[in-house]
Structure 1
Amino acid sequence: MRTGLQKVRVRILETNGSGAQDLDAALAILSEGELERFRNYHFARDRKDYALAHALLRRTLSDFAPETERGAWQFETRASGKPGVIARPDLDFSLTHTRGLVACAVADTGLVGIDAETDERPLDMEPLFREVCSPGERQELATLTGLARTSRFFDFWTLKEAYLKARGVGITGDLSLTGFTIADDGNIRLEAARGQPGPDATFCIYRCSGPARVALATLGITGLHDIEVTKAAKWNA
């Protein structure tokens, strides 16, 4: 059931401003399986991010279908390997969390994939350039230095992850066969890909406070005007 004109809703939450009360509210709507996975995280900050991410997804799903309580959503793994909502094949979703930031995307038309990453992730990037980046991407990276180079690399990384999530395939094979050209955060073109999508593929990047970004890929969506984005610094915002 559609509740608005948007075909995709993106919710981004920076979790450092969420406290114990917010965590309790999130835990109250998680399933037993989610609670078990929550308890398996070693660090408290990772547990909090996991809980808030999955609660954010449940809240966003109920934005599309208010008749369904947030805690009532049930999930399955579809034949493609992509997670799905039981009994709601019309809804597609994607979920991501990195330390201090969680995000989800829900669509009632087409397919979505979302990924978040921070420039502060400790990685030895140089060996990854040839493994991860297309020739065009490597050419752009060669013109950059320092933080600008790091940031652009993670732009490419998150776009690839979001695109493959939207398609319902994992990070397998040669990632350098998928490449992007970024004119700006709202003008991104797929330059090479396995299983090239049609012209109705849309890609964009949303910048968050600090060195973090969220990359979104949609398939079957005509453009950015079909996407509603909400950013918040607190769970109840």
Structure 2
Amino acid sequence: MPGTKAIILETTGCSSEDLESALEILSEDELQRFHAFHFDQDRKDYALAHALLRKTLSDLEPGTAPRDWQFAPMATGKPAVAGRSDLDFSLTHTRGLVACAVTREGVIGIDAETDQRTVEVDMLMRDVCSPGERQELAKVEGAHKTSRFLDFWTLKEAYLKAVGLGITADLTTVSFILADDRDIAISTPPDLRRPASSFQIGRRPGHWRVALAVFGGIDARDVEITLCEKRSF
């Protein structure tokens, strides 16, 4: 939709040439962070994620070249486009997958996880899930349980990224009810509540899921989540 983009990039298919093209549009600070990663795949994912963000911002605002975007933290610590209160973005990367969301129509958060991630659900859900979510997880087993846990996890991360707190908040106080990937309700304490919140989960079954959280002006269900086919920047 106009004014909002959500883009997924599978980095395992990216070549060394794709990585070089990404590095060419990063800032000096981003390049320093890139070199600080110990593992090649982590460096690659970081560079491609930040290049994807810069390219997506320029697709939305063609008057600014990808290399020219500047960023600064908000009071909450959430990264923001410097000098542009009318633009909001969110960025996430996990092994082999990066995603970004950009909007000029509200506040947005995005999170992604691969289906290959190994998760100790029974151990983690005590610190991540609300009582209602734990009751739902108790009804399923095996891969279905892991999948639903990752739904909850990515939704919480996306929402708290939009709020600007990340996982510093108590995740068990944020509770989701999922009828399906587009019919999603939330319950939060008053200090985390945001008006007109909406959500969507996009999937490539067997590969990844991405959660989108939006409030103020747009509906997350109207945002097309796009898989990026072009890997050079």
1:162 and 2:158 aligned: yes
Q: CA deviation at 1:46?
A: 1.1
- What does the per-residue CA deviation read over 1:15-56, in whole Å, with 9 as the maximum and x for residues that have no partner? 111101111110000001111111111111111111110000
Q: Equivalent residue of 1:214, what SS?
A: strand
Query: What corresponds to 1:197 in structure 2?
Result: 194
Structure 2 equivalent of residue 62 of structure 1:
58
Counterpart in 1 of 2:5? 9
Q: Which structure 2 residues correspond to residues 33-182 of structure 1 after superposition, within 5 A? A: 33-182=29-178
Q: CA deviation at 1:197?
A: 2.0
Alpha-carbon distance in 2 for matches of 1:193, 1:147: 31
State the shift of 1:119 in Å.
Answer: 3.5
Q: What is the aligned partner in structure 2 of residue 235 from structure 1? A: 231
CA distance in 2, matches of 1:158, 1:59: 24
How far residue 112 of structure 1 moved from its aligned partner, in angstroms, is 0.6
Q: What TM-score comes out, normalization by structure 2 length?
A: 0.93
Deviates more, 1:184-193 or 1:212-221: 184-193
Q: Structure 1 165/124 Cα, relative in aligned 2: closer, same or farther at 3 Å?
A: same
What is the CA-CA distance between 1:89 and the residue it aligns to?
Answer: 1.2
CA shift, 1:236, in A, is: 4.2
Amino acid at match of 1:7: G
Unaligned runs of 5+ in 1: none
Q: Mark the CA change 1:234 to 1:62 in structure 2 (over 3 Å): closer, same or farther.
A: closer
Superposed CA offset, 1:56-103 (max 9, x none): 000010011101010000000111211111121110000000011100
CA distance in 2, matches of 1:63, 1:232: 13
1:29 to 21, 25, 28: 25
Contact persistence 2:72–2:81 (CA under 8 A): yes
> How far did residue 234 of structure 1 move?
4.6
TM-score normalised to structure 1 length: 0.92
How far apart, in 1, do the equivalents of 2:230 and 2:93 lie? 15
Counterpart code for 1:33: D
Q: What are the ranges of 5 or more consecutive residues in structure 2 without an aligned counterpart?
A: none
Q: Percent identity?
A: 55
Aligned residues: CA RMSD: 1.7
- 1:167-218 Cα distance to aligned partner (Å, 9 max, x none): 01131242111010111111111133452222x2111111135342111101
> Would you say the 8 A contact 2:111–2:158 is kept in 1?
yes
1:171 aligns to what SS in structure 2? helix
Q: Which amino acid aligns with 1:197?
A: R
